[in-house]
Structure 1
Amino acid sequence: MLSPSQKSAKNEFNRVALVGKFQADGIEGHLIDLAQMLSDLGCEVFIETATATHLNLSSHPSKSPAEFAGSIDLVVVLGGDGTMLGIGRQLAGSKVPLVGINMGRLGYMTDIPIQDVKEVLPKIIGGEYEADSRTLLDAIVLRGAQIINRALALNDVVVNRSGTSGMVELAVRVNGSFMYNQRSDGLIVSTPTGSTAYALSAGGPILHPRVAGILLAPIAPHSLSNRPIVLPEDAVTSIEVVDGREVIVNFDMQSQTELQSGDKIEVRQSEKSITLLHPRGHSDYKTLREKLHWNEYPSTF
């Protein structure tokens, strides 16, 4: 139950859309509870169209992400970071902020545990939050002079080989300047947000979300002198497939394009961004400490 003070508080966000990872066990019940809680707070609640369709939810009106701009004040994402990545790309540039609620595993972006929702979400609805802007990457895939695909990525753009083929050879240029020819399993171009994803597994550094940079991290390079590098935010990285079989380019590991020798991928920072809202007192360092199991010692000061 909500307290009288929570019910009577003036809301900063009045039109709220719910997005759920509809494959997750128990998601329907959690979404219904969230919708009821938001309604009790005086919010007008909508269910994202795909979520409503897959879960057969008809208790509230539905809207597609393309309709959110101008008609939705806040999006609440229930699931994990993968769900946030998918909806984040769709809402990039819309100026509609997102809140992430995780379903049991600590997420980097979906950082509110489901058991804390009744305490935390009303405060955010009422205006008690910390805002966090995240950049995206804009990538185009060129075959000769023809653009065969264009996509946004909130985490990373990854050029890599299939699991059964040999190494791929890539020629990399930055702002037109030749960097290297690299033989490896692939190359990751990452935002600061994505630095804690695949790039971290490939040995890349962790970038704070407010760092204005783009990370290049090779995947199992043939030469150990090929190291991760952080480029300035205005860098345009061109990656040409020189040689290799079954080479693909992935965008946030959620969509992909098959590549041929001679294809090029041009990656730059997008003009679009998204805004994540966190509870007051949110700490990126606490999230890293808990997610990566860094050592903790009692504070003496």
Structure 2
Amino acid sequence: MTRNVLVVTHPGRPEALQALRNAVPALVEHGFDVYSADLSGSTARELGIRLYAPYQQGTQMKISDFEAVMVLGGDGTILRAAELIFGSHVPLLGINLGHVGFLAESEKEDLDLAVARLAGRDYATEERRVLQVTVHRPGFAQPVIDWALNEATVEKAEPARMLEVSISVDGRPLSTFGCDAVILATATGSTAHAFSAGGPIVWPDVAAKVLVPVAAHALFARPLVLGPSADCTIDVLTESGVGGVLVTDGRRQTDIPQGSRVIIKTSDTPIVFARLSSAPFADRLVSKFRLPVEGWRGNGNTMRGETDDA
């Protein structure tokens, strides 16, 4: 039986291409047919990779034909890969080539091991909730439908002006204020843009959404943690001096003029990640953010595994 794997990377970065050159022979040796949606035809032929053209009319391959998607890159590349698998249950395995790489499961030094684990189906799967985003704009009969794995951000379209918004939750008004932006993040995205704006980190198994106003002129403009069934509505007020822009996962943009309404819910469609490690989320935080934990003592030992003789 043919085993297909889609490899997503950044073809313009030399370290990504080098990682791809290392990964492809190992994947082929383990019996995979390797596909790419990023490479030029000449580079693909050189590496022995087949091209996958998901948006090309008449393409023979479907995303469901792949056993897994392996991402060689940082969080931005993983978010791009998520666009390819959204709506399927194909697992995504991230190999970090970036800086923090919070969404990645493994580092580039462990690439061979990750390939072997993938080939042996020696991994667990974890579903991550995403946001469903609906935008109603004046003058448009049909709404814009989008989604986000990390966050949906309503931000001002002009740097020198303030965006006037009204926030409601579950159909009940909550607050009205001027601001630079409003971020609505998943638990997965709580370590990204929302965290940089002062929001809390939410453990990924917590079914929650985080609302974070950015530079809001209001007494009550603290981050809020909403439940999974809560619907959040952001209205761009008609008296706002400027329209807004909806940005989803930092990748897709929708203009939202005055009078627009953005409704954000928890989607029923998750993104599936392949997990190689059973380590708790706290360990990931310590590793990715390089948190100082030298003074911690567990079971009589320090974090470095040294016996505490004090």
Normalising by structure 1, report the TM-score: 0.88
1:292 to 279, 285, 289: 289
1:14 to 3, 12, 37: 3
2:51: which partner in 1? 62
Distance 1:300 1:192, change over 3 A: closer
Distance 1:231 1:55, change over 3 A: farther
Paired residues of 1:130 and 1:282 also in contact (CA < 8 A): no
Q: Deviations over 1:109-142 (max 9, x none)?
A: 1231111111232023212223221111111211
1:265: which partner in 2? 262
Matches of 1:266 and 1:54, distance apart in 2: 41
Matching of residue 40 in structure 1 with residue 23 in structure 2: no
Matching of residue 95 in structure 1 with residue 89 in structure 2: yes
Q: Which amino acid aligns with 1:273?
A: P
Matches of 1:92 and 1:179, distance apart in 2: 32
Q: Which amino acid aligns with 1:161?
A: K
Distance 1:215 1:107, change over 3 A: same
2:203: which partner in 1? 208
Paired residues for 1:1-301 under 5 Å: 14-48=3-37, 51-53=38-40, 56-58=43-45, 59-65=48-54, 67-144=61-138, 146-162=141-157, 164-242=159-237, 243-297=240-294, 299-301=297-299
SS at match of 1:152: strand
Q: Deviations over 1:234-287 (max 9, x none)?
A: 222111101132521111111112221111111111121111112133432222
Matches of 1:253 and 1:247, distance apart in 2: 15
SS at match of 1:70: helix
Q: Which amino acid aligns with 2:256?
A: L
Matches of 2:62 and 2:293, distance apart in 1: 41
Deviation at 1:288, TM superposition (A): 1.0
Q: Bigger shift: 65-74 or 100-109?
A: 65-74
Paired residues of 1:141 and 1:266 also in contact (CA < 8 A): yes
Matches of 2:208 and 2:278, distance apart in 1: 25
How many corresponding residue pairs?
Answer: 288
Deviation at 1:54, TM superposition (A): 7.6
Deviation at 1:179, TM superposition (A): 1.1
Paired residues of 2:132 and 2:265 also in contact (CA < 8 A): yes
Q: Which amino acid aligns with 1:147?
A: Q
Percent sequence identity is 28
RMSD: 2.1
Normalising by structure 2, report the TM-score: 0.86
